[in-house]
Chain A
């Protein structure tokens, strides 16, 4: 099972919007409405910010939004803030009680 492909880094200015892509295949992202996204700051616990392709957990800002087209899931962060900096990982269920994660994207504000 190959890792999902993400850009290594994305940057933006405060207040701008950025989009991170996550490309898989028809065996993972394209087969299930189960893509999730995680924010990871150094030394902290990763935080779930999107699940089910586009759903936000309680307490997550609506500045974070998820979408999907074919085998590619995307995360958009609008109104970029300095505390959005960190590494963002996507993840997809792959069937058979198995999961695959993305390669990770460093977000710099």
Chain B
């Protein structure tokens, strides 16, 4: 069974770079049939797709956030990561990692999420 698990700092101060890591088991990040995504849910809002990465290192980001986001991948550890630069209170959210089927596919497995508060 595919499982994803987010890890993050919980609480960060404004203006710093937020870093989150997603550990994957039951699937290989080297599998070319999938992208690996980050999604967040802001308080009282629906989910917001942030971006994804392919095993080759190719990345795609939500255009309005692209200048603040970096997604990276470590296939040797079967992990991928998200950095969000210059965070503000508006970045307070639950952050999820998810597996995404290649070719504009759905998000078929998600992690349970990591709460991040900016204060």
Q: Are B46 and A3 in contact (CB under 8 A)?
A: yes
Task: Give the residues in chain A near B49, CB-CB below 8 Å.
Answer: 91, 98-101
Cα-based distance from A52 to B104 in the complex (angstroms): 10
Question: How far does the Cβ of B108 sit from chain A's closest Cβ, in whole Å?
Answer: 5
Given A3-B45, A91-B47, the answer on whether A46 and B104 have CB atoms closer than 8 Å is: no
Report which of A46, A91, A98 forms a contact with B62, defined as CB distance below 8 A: A98
Question: How far does the Cβ of A88 sit from chain B's closest Cβ, in whole Å?
Answer: 10
Residues 55-102 of A at the B interface (beta carbon under 8 Å): 57, 89, 91, 93, 97-102
Residues 43-89 of B at the A interface (beta carbon under 8 Å): 45-49, 52, 60, 62-64
Given A98-B62, A101-B46, the answer on whether A36 and B104 have CB atoms closer than 8 Å is: no
Q: Are A43 and B108 in contact (CB under 8 A)?
A: no
| Any A CB within 8 A of the CB of B32 | no
Residues 22-56 of B at the A interface (beta carbon under 8 Å): 39, 45-49, 52
Which residue among B64, B107, B112, B113 has the maximum number of chain A CB atoms within 10 Å of its CB?
B107
For A1-45 the 0/1 string (1 means CB < 8 A from B) is 101101000000000000000000000000010101010000111
7 A–B pairs (Cβ distance < 8 Å), ordered by A: A34-B105, A36-B107, A46-B107, A48-B108, A89-B47, A101-B48, A104-B45
Binding site for B on A (CB under 8 A): 1, 3-4, 6, 32, 34, 36, 38, 43-48, 51-52, 57, 89, 91, 93, 97-104
